[in-house]
Chains A and B, each alone.
Chain A
Amino acid sequence: MSVPRFWRNLDSRYNLEGTHCTECGEYFYPPRKTCVNCRRLGQIEPYRFKGTGEIVTYTVIRTAAEGFEEQAPYALAIIKLDEGPSLTAQVVGSPEKVHIGMRVSSVFRKLGEGGDRGMIYYGTKFIPADA
Chain B
Amino acid sequence: MRDVAIIGVKNTKFGELWERSLRDIVVEAGIGAIEDAGVGGKDINALYVGNMSGGRFVDQEHIGALIADYSGLSRNLHVPATRVEAACASGGLALRQAIMTVASGYGDIVVAAGAEKMTDVGSEEASSALAAAADREWEGMAGATFPGLYSMIAKLHMHRYGTTSEQLAEVAVKNHRNGCLNPIAQYRNEITVDQVLNSIMVADPLHIFDCSPITDGAAALVLAPAEVAHEYTDTPIYIKATAQASDTIALHDRRDITTLDASVMAAKRAYEMAKLGPGDIDLVEVHDCFTIAEICAVEDLGFTEKGKGGIFTEEGETAIGGRIPVNTSGGLKACGHPVGATGIKQAVEIVTQLRGEAGKRQVEGAEYGMAHNVGGSGATAVVHIFSRER
Contact = CB atoms under 8 A, between A and B. Distances in A.
Interface residues of A, number: 34
Contacts of B251: 78, 88
Contact of A78 (B124, B205, B252): B252
Contacts of A127: none
B127 A65 contact: yes
Interface stretch (B74-82, B137-145, B185-193, B345-353): B137-145
B125 to A, nearest CB: 8
Given A3-B137, A59-B155, A88-B251, A78 B145 contact: no
Contacts of B138: 30, 87-88
Contact of A57 (B125, B152, B201): B152
Contact of A87 (B128, B131, B252): B252
A113 B238 CA distance: 53
Nearest to B152: A57
B142 A90 contact: yes
Interface string A39-67: 00000000000000000111111111110
Contacts of A78: 152, 251-252, 257
Contacts of A71: 143
Interface of B: 124-125, 127-128, 131, 136-145, 147-148, 151-153, 155-156, 159, 200-206, 250-253, 257
Interface of A: 1-3, 7, 30, 56-66, 68, 71, 74, 76-79, 85-90, 100, 111-112, 121, 123
Given A7-B141, A57-B153, A76-B203, 12 more contacts: A58-B155, A59-B151, A59-B152, A61-B145, A65-B144, A65-B148, A66-B124, A74-B143, A79-B252, A86-B253, A87-B138, A123-B142
